[in-house]
Amino acid sequence: MSAVMSSPASPARRTVMVVDDTPENLTLLGEILMPHYGVRVASSGARALAAARIDPRPDLILLDVMMPVMDGYEVISRLRADPETADIPVIFVTALAATDDEAKGLELGAVDYITKPVRPSIVLARVHAHLDLKDARDILRNQNAWLEGEVRRRMSQNQMVQDVSMRALASLAEARDNETGNHILRTQNYVRVLASQLATLPRYADLLTPEIIETYTKAAPLHDIGKVGIPDHILHKPGKHTPEEWEIMMTHAKIGSDAIWRAIQDEDDRVALDFMYVAMEISHYHHEKWDGSGYPERLSGDQIPLPARLMALGDVFDALISKRVYKPAFPIEKATEIILEGRGKHFDPEVVDAYVARIDDFRQIALRYTDSPEE
């Protein structure tokens, strides 16, 4: 007996399900409710659980406590444990009057109690009140869901604008250096791969979270932004630089970090700008070497910020496999040989080991973002 009576269905009518093992009680409650609501009935706990999942889903359940096999307490416990029925309000209808029984029902999630013998005015008032509360909760839930979706959409838009703007700035610097936008994409992905590999080591497991790796990746395109401040006759010189020219060339690291610092120093939200602080570290330190022979600060070992150590290898690898006015493109095998020679000298040994472990990923990135002949 899962639906012994019903009233004409209407999309706007709210549905109340009555659960009771006594036919007379089902008939009485049905007669009270049918002029106002769609009514569904179930004569056992098991049938109630099945019916609660069938459309039209009940907006509210009037549930008898004392039923054989499965009493009302077990029914409400199972309703609350099922995500599809957990939010349906339940009013217990029972002849029990003990305070402990009422407290038990409320603790299990019932919203109200109606004692037998029922009075029509009380039943209608309680049902109406709790259906209105459910409507209000549903409206609020829908509004919150819409707002959360809108916030995600706006954040996604802002993120896209931020990423595109950064790549545009980075492309400006690369274009002045006769580089291509694909160099940005390649080095960005090299940094991601190296960081992901280091994250498998116990030493880096807590530091290199997915969020931090994403921050490093976002910041990587700005590594050579300082080249916009280098005179063309030095930046584009095809031959070897004089010592004086090289001194000027090396200033691009500080020019870049200073420019980023000027852009963010008046902003208070450090968390929102984390990637810019990382970009500043990468720009300033990615030409430092593990043995202390790099520039501009001659830092060594772990003194060099980790994202800059990752970029150092990624940037050199990309330069080695790319054609330049002063050299042909080296095969990956030759580039790997040079990187291995620089282990513990130019490069962090653990970063080199990460490169070796993920060399196939480097190869795929290089192929995916290869430069066209025109570039």
Backbone angles phi, psi at 62, to 5 degrees: -95, 115
CATH: 3.40.50.2300, 3.30.390.10, 3.40.50.720, 3.30.450.40. Which one for 15-145? 3.40.50.2300
- Cβ neighbours for 28, distance < 8 A, ≥ 6 positions apart: 118
330: Cα separation from own chain's centroid: 39
Six token digits for residue 294? 């790099």
Nearest alpha-carbon partner for 271 in 202, 212, 353, 188: 212
Q: Put the strands of the sheet holding 15-19 in their side by side order.
A: 38-42, 15-19, 60-64, 90-94, 112-115
To which residue do tokens 């002949």 refer?
Answer: 373
Q: Which CATH class is domain 177-368?
A: mainly alpha
Question: pLDDT at position 164, please?
Answer: 62
pLDDT of residue 202: 95
Alpha-carbon distance of 256 to 230, in angstroms, equals 11
Tell me whether the CATH fold assigned to 15-145 matches the one assigned to 177-368. no
Predicted pLDDT of residue 85: 92
Which residues, at least 6 apart from 340, have a Cβ–Cβ distance to it below 8 Å? 352, 356
Q: What is the pLDDT along the chain (375 residues), one digit of tens a residue?
A: 444 344 433 445 899 999 999 999 999 999 999 999 999 999 999 999 999 999 889 999 999 988 999 999 999 999 999 999 999 999 999 877 656 667 788 888 899 989 888 999 999 999 999 999 988 888 888 888 888 888 888 777 766 666 666 666 666 666 555 555 688 889 999 999 999 999 999 999 999 999 999 999 989 988 988 988 889 888 888 788 899 999 999 999 999 899 888 877 776 656 556 788 899 999 999 999 999 999 999 999 999 999 999 999 999 999 999 987 677 899 999 999 999 999 999 999 999 999 999 999 999 999 999 877 655
Run of H or E including 62: strand 60-64
Q: What are the residue ranges spanned by the domains of the chain?
A: 15-145, 177-368
User: Using CA atoms, how far apart are residues 233 and 239, in angstroms rounded to an integer?
Assistant: 11
The predicted pLDDT at position 9 comes to 39
